[in-house]
Amino acid sequence: MRLTYVLFIAVIFAMTGYSCRHKGAKFLSQGEIHYNIEYSGKIGAMPREFLPQNLVVSFKNDKILFEMITPFGNSGILNLSNPEKGIFDTYFSLFTIRYFYAAKPGEMYPGFEEMNGMELIKTSKTAVICGFNCKNAEVYLPFDKSKAYEIWYTDEINIQNPNASTPFYQIDGVLMSFFFYMGSAELHFEVETVYQKDISDDTFERRNTFTKISREEINKFISKMVSL
């Protein structure tokens, strides 16, 4: 009986330890959000474990850095938004390749062309995710109007215009569960951890070690990363 009780407690502990963690108060204005990434659709021959496994979002007021890094070679995709300095950059790195594209204010980040023309409908559904009260919306993509994708977002994290340069610019809230189409691949993101922490202003400065290229060129690199 004692062994059964111990095993039961261990299972409960494991389940709660796996759940999303929120470290800090609500309505934080700077910190990090960590998401798990799941892939579906056509992702090519590269093993999924070699693709980016996590998304880390660093934020401070209206400055945001999105980082999707692969488990090897410090390769991946970064999106940087620093409205104060007019920086809206996308960075691509793969081993020794290091390129970036500088977008204009209001321009959507490269890589999301498949989502152009999508329809977003807010619903009355609510949920608590990672300790935050969240709202719901359904998304219909132009190439398949019969399929509804659900996304969840919260207004209890103080990021100004958090989705301004993404396909979800209509959502004035931080996405907690969502998806992206990048090339032919479908990426699903689920929040794992929300941290309250001090973020250095240097995090949101332009990376000068990258070579500037056109939007068309960086789109090709992004597509190749998820469909090699």
CATH number at residue 110: 2.50.20
Q: What is the mean pLDDT of the chain?
A: 86
- Identify any residues that bridge with 55 across adjacent strands, giving them in sequence order: 35, 68
Distance between CA atoms of 204 and 190, rounded to whole angstroms? Answer: 24
The DSSP string of 159-220 is -SSTTTTSTTTT--SEEEEEEEEETTEEEEEEEEEEEE----GGGGS--TTSEE--HHHHHH
Domain assignment present for residue 9? The answer is no
Domain assignment present for residue 10? The answer is no
Of residues 51 and 198, which shows the higher confidence score? 198
What's the confidence (pLDDT) of residue 73?
66
Domain assignment present for residue 192? The answer is yes
- Whether pLDDT at 68 is above 50: yes
- Whether pLDDT at 4 is above 60: no
Distance between CA atoms of 195 and 168, rounded to whole angstroms? Answer: 23
Band of pLDDT at residue 52, cut at 50, 70 and 90: confident
Of residues 1 and 51, which shows the higher confidence score? 51
Domain assignment present for residue 74? The answer is yes
Distance between CA atoms of 60 and 158, rounded to whole angstroms? Answer: 9
Q: Give 5: exposed, middle or buried? Use CB within 10 Å, 0-12, 13-18, 19+.
A: exposed
What's the confidence (pLDDT) of residue 86?
95
Q: What angle do CA 10, 13, 195 make, to 5 degrees?
A: 155
Distance between CA atoms of 23 and 208, rounded to whole angstroms? Answer: 33
Domain assignment present for residue 84? The answer is yes
What is the reported pTM? Answer: 0.85
Band of pLDDT at residue 44, cut at 50, 70 and 90: low
The DSSP string of 116-176 is TT-EEEEEEEEEEETTEEEEEEEEEETTEEEEEEEEEEESSS--SSTTTTSTTTT--SEEE
Band of pLDDT at residue 11, cut at 50, 70 and 90: very low
Query: How many structural domains are present in the chain?
Result: 1
> pLDDT tens, 88-134?
999 999 888 999 999 999 899 999 988 999 999 999 999 999 999 99
Distance between CA atoms of 63 and 45, rounded to whole angstroms? Answer: 36
Q: Which domain holds residue 49?
A: 21-227
- Whether pLDDT at 165 is above 50: yes
Distance between CA atoms of 108 and 65, rounded to whole angstroms? Answer: 15
Domain assignment present for residue 3? The answer is no
Number of H helices, E strands in the chain: 2, 13
Q: Which of 113, 63, 116 is nearest to 222 (CA)?
A: 113
Q: What is the mean pLDDT of residues 45-74?
A: 86
- Tell me 27's DSSP state: S
Q: Which of 35, 108, 20 is nearest to 67 (CA)?
A: 35
- Whether pLDDT at 184 is above 60: yes
Domain assignment present for residue 187? The answer is yes
Domain assignment present for residue 12? The answer is no
